[in-house]
Amino acid sequence: MQITTVSDFRKDMKAYLDRVVKNVETLIINRGKDSGIVVMSLEEYNSLMATNHELSSRKNESRLDSAIDKLKSGNTFSKDLIED
């Protein structure tokens, strides 16, 4: 995570944005007392939104937890894909 001020961000905006995307980092821009802005890549944002959607219902959350438990315990199987 990077932290900067509005002034420093303004001076070198392109470099900050390039680092956010290249390093999959989050940038916090301080705007003074108790306020700030978070900048993240679109890829990171989409990932957060997908996770939020997957965990939005108790049923989905239970299914994901069950799948993780099965994976950790080695209770998995594999299948070959059918090719046409």
Cα–Cα distances in angstroms (integers) from residue 37 to residues 18, 49, 51, in the given order: 17, 18, 21
pLDDT, tens digit, 9 for 90 and up, residues 11-51: 999 999 999 999 999 999 998 887 899 999 999 999 999 98
With 90 as the cut, is the pLDDT of residue 8 above it?
yes
pLDDT, tens digit, 9 for 90 and up, residues 30-41: 988 878 999 999
- CA–CA gap between residue 73 and residue 6 (Å, rounded): 48
